[in-house]
Structure 1
Amino acid sequence: MGLDRATRVDFAMWFVLLTALLLYAMTLDTGLQPEELRGGDLITHQYAQVQARPSNAPGYPLYTMGGWLWFRIVHLLAVGLGSPNPNPMPLLSSYSTLWALLALWLLYRILVVLFARVRALPPSLVNTLSLARLALGVAGEQRLAALLTLFYAVTYFFWYYATTTEQYSSAIAQTLAIVYLYLRWQDAGTPASTEPRDGIGANSMGRGNRLSDSHARHLLWLLAFLCGLSLAHMLTVAFIVPPLVLVILWQAPGLLRQWRVLLLAVIFALLPLVSYLYVYLRGAAHPEWWGNGQWQSAGAWFWSFVSTSQGREELGWGFEPWCSVFANGFPALVFSELTWPVVGLGLLGFSLMGKRLAVLFGGTALIYLAFSWAYRCGNWFQVILPLYPLLLIGVGVFVQRSFRLAAQSTGRRKAGSWLALSHLSIELFLFAA
């Protein structure tokens, strides 16, 4: 007997995660370059996680507190394993690896969930020993999801930030967690169906009925909290929030009449702001951490710090005469990171996800691209990073939908074999890439 779906999913998932873990463990950052000792993001995050001090403005309070706890735990483990004075650099960098592995798990799970939404193969192709079933069936879906995830795992920027002490792998994980949780919410209470769908059934929340279910409400509140984390983390992660709110209200217009549910959602979204007390209290206790500037009180320093004046100044550079229309690698770096086919097929894949998911993914991409253009003379190539896995999801949807559609159109085993060979060729290409 073959492995059931759940077993296959788990096997492929663990293969991806263990492969990435070994790769990242062998390439963890172990030191600083001489120029990095003069300052910059890396050393600022490292001091923050060692000393429990605010990091770069606006402080990244939740991320930094988590990093401080992580460093304490892995340092104790290293000492317990016989290393009395372990090199702190890989210990600090491994915090980013933790978030990177979570991001890869979420990317894989999103692909699997979206693949499962497509109707079954035609009966003429469903033969246990057929090549078409091997390539286009559940096993093929798992391989495609695993290969796309591994492809993303070794892209330059993701690999770099998975092994160094900065917050970008956590921002990517947060974005993917929002997408994954939305898919869970979208499917909550939806009748099982083999029809292609956008997660919406005739009797589902599309008519405003499903919010009476406590599970759907809890998922919605958790989703609101997850979106609100961007207020206490990397603010640009919130770019996904406007299209997300739009598709939620599109699916559940009755939500606007349920003020208690809405009020709690707003409260959960704002709850992460409480973590800024950490920034204020730690800063007030250590004025030597304030940096350059003159402030009359801890409160004055705090409001100046969280207002991120440097980021606002850099955003204005894109409108200066010296900043050309396409400058600082925009948008060429996107294509060098993912390749032209991946970007193009990813955007096409958005249109095959169903109306609501197309709005969610396409709207998020549009906001990221517009902001990155305005920020092109700043660090736009870091801001845009959460968009890259969304494009990989689009590629997966495009490939799977295209081959399923072709298989359903032919329904003949000979044609199915040709489709299977084509599918396997794409898998080999991803493996080689």
Structure 2
Amino acid sequence: MSLLTLDRRGRWGLFLLLIATAILYLATLDNGLAPADLVGGDLITHHYAQAQARPANAPGYPLYTIGGWLWFHGLRLIAPAANPIALLSSYSTLWGLLSLALLFGLLHHFSGRVLAVSLGLSAFYAVTYFFWFYSVTSEQYTSAIFHTLALAALAHAWDHAPRDRTLLLIALGLGLALAHMITVLLLGPGLLLFLLSKQPALLRRGRLILHALGLALLPLLSYAYVYLRGAAHPEWWGEGTWATPQAWFLSFLSTAQGRDELTWALGPFTSEFPRLIWVEMTPLLLILGVAGWALLGRRTFLFYALTALLYFLFCYIDRLGNWFQVILPLYPLILLGAGVSLGRLWQRFPAHALRGALILLLLALILLKFTQSSPRAMQRDRAGDTGLRPGQAILAVDPPAGAAILAAADETLALDYLTGVWGIRP
């Protein structure tokens, strides 16, 4: 993909970015569980899913979970003595680093190969709280960010050199959202408008459309994994009563919990929505981001502005739920626009003093964001991560194989995790 081709300085910049970020994330990687983590929630669900190849939280995230299972068990073969919690968390780190690499490549292209801009904005994004936090804990959001950036990269690659193969990859990428984080499809309307505004005749190419639809629907086959694993293990079904595996499967796919969080009535903003958006991105970069979309032309502006509008509307409906997770893939798209704006400023004002001021501004933003994020993003060796201690105390006594253990609730949860995920006892 030519727009992601890096020059020598760009390759060195990317190398430094990934090395520094990897060190930071590994130093803050989640390696323990609080007692409340074991009771329930997305994090513990992903742990069990990736350790035991079971469906994650609804609708199961089949492709992500299968990848996580391969990642976890592959690392355990390489480092059997390593902390399993850290290994599970590192799957998010993998997607976080891949997202940063893709963001850097796009920024380097759209900023006019201005290394200070592409490296500065990528480093800023690396230390934003939500991206940092979800890069060191077991959640699927960094993979959704990579997914979104990959679709944007494919769209711009096709715009630069229109090829049917790229369109089919876009169709497959959109279809992957059906088997992953469905809200990534909020990018879809703007992306389709971006494509059709350049080549309206695409709507008359029936054979290409059929091929694209086939590829888009192909990832749905991965839900067979959810059904088969669930049917084989009714004990994984969770709360509720279902007469058949089919009834459980349909109920599971309906994501009732996520729908229950939606608020369909009009009402005021909350203390967090939309305030967290400019807290995360800063007002300056939000303004530069929208301005940068406009600088890329009408079609690109409509692509990203429509995407932002759909995200905002959906998050308004979800304002009493986990909207702050849903909106995460939009943030790097804002930074792409900011990269365009800052790249134009860099090229328009070649004086060393002005460029130095721009570098100082980026450094100040990185330092400010790092200072704000680091206390909350630090997940390594937390004092409250005592959830496994009750189970470890029981196993330290070395009870005989097959012994029946009468345990309290916290001990049972810890033992289940130690045996089911750590594999301490068969």
| TM exceeding 0.5 | yes
Gap regions ≥5 residues in structure 2: 369-426
| Identity over aligned pairs, percent | 49
Q: Give ranges in structure 1 of 5+ residues lacking alignment.
A: 117-137, 189-209, 211-215, 408-414
Q: CA RMSD in A?
A: 1.7
The counterpart of 2:291, out of the listed 348, 352, 364, is: 348
TM-score by length of 2: 0.82
The alpha carbon displacement at 1:418 in A equals 4.9
Q: Which moved more, 1:393-402 or 1:172-181?
A: 393-402
Aligned equivalent of 1:176: 149
Alpha-carbon displacement from aligned partner over 1:230-283 (angstroms, at most 9, x marks no partner): 100011000000110111111111211211111111111111101000000000
Match of 2:55 in 1: 54
1:186 positional shift: 1.2
State the partner residue of 1:129.
Answer: none
1:113 paired with 2:105, answer: no
Taking the aligned partners of 1:422 and 1:30, their CA distance within structure 2 comes to 40
Query: Could you list the per-position Cα deviations for residues 308-332 of structure 1 after superposition, in whole angstroms to 9, with x for gaps in the alignment?
Result: 11111111x3528xxx511251011
2:355 equivalent to 1:420: yes
User: Contact (CA 8 Å) 1:318, 1:376: kept in 2 or not?
Assistant: no
What is the alpha-carbon distance in structure 2 between the residues aligned to residue 283 and residue 10 of structure 1? 45
Cα distance in 2, alignment partners of residues 5 and 75 from structure 1: 34
SS across alignment from 1:260 = helix
Change (3 A) 1:68 1:185: same
Distance 1:115 1:252 in 2: 26
- 2:129 and 2:280 in contact (8 A); partners too: yes
* Cα distance in 2 for residues equivalent to 1:149 and 1:417: 22
1:318 to 1:33, Cα distance in 2 relative to 1, 3 A: farther
Matched, 1:338 2:281: yes
Change (3 A) 1:301 1:5: closer
1:184-242 deviations in whole A, cap 9, x for unaligned?
11111xxxxxxxxxxxxxxxxxxxxx5xxxxx111111111011111000110000001
- Offset from partner CA, 1:349-400 (integer Å, 9 cap, x none): 2211111211111111111011111110111111011111111111111111
* Preserved CA contact (<8 Å) 2:120 2:363: no
* 2:97 equivalent in structure 1: 101
Specify which of 243, 263, 269 is matched with residue 326 of structure 1: 269
CA distance in 1, matches of 2:47, 2:332: 26
Task: Report the AA paired with residue 104 of structure 1.
Answer: L
Letter in 2 for 1:343: L
Is the Cα–Cα contact under 8 Å of residues 110 and 343 in structure 2 kept in the other structure?
Answer: no
1:38, 1:187 → 2: CA distance? 50
Alpha-carbon contact 2:127-2:366 (below 8 Å) kept: no
Is 1:36–2:9 an aligned residue pair?
no
Residues paired across the two proteins, number: 364
Q: Give the structure 2 partner of residue 125 of structure 1.
A: none
In the TM superposition, what is the alpha-carbon distance from 1:25 to its structure 2 partner?
Answer: 0.6
Does structure 1 conserve the Cα–Cα contact (< 8 Å) formed by 2:111 and 2:117? Answer: no
**Gap change, CA 1:247 and 1:329, over 3 Å in 2:** same
Q: CA deviation at 1:337?
A: 1.4
1:286 aligns with 2:282: no
Displacement after TM superposition at 1:431 (Å)? 4.6
Q: Per chain length, whose mean CA-contact separation is higher, i.e. which structure has more relative contact order (CA < 8 Å, sep 6+)? A: 2
In the alignment, the residues of structure 1 paired with residue 186 and residue 153 of structure 2 have an alpha-carbon distance, to the nearest angstrom, of 16
* Amino acid paired to 1:275: S
User: What is aligned with 2:374?
Assistant: none
Aligned residue identity for 1:325:
P
For residues 361 and 401 of structure 1, what CA distance do their matches in structure 2 show? Answer: 19
Residue number in structure 2 paired with 1:148: 121
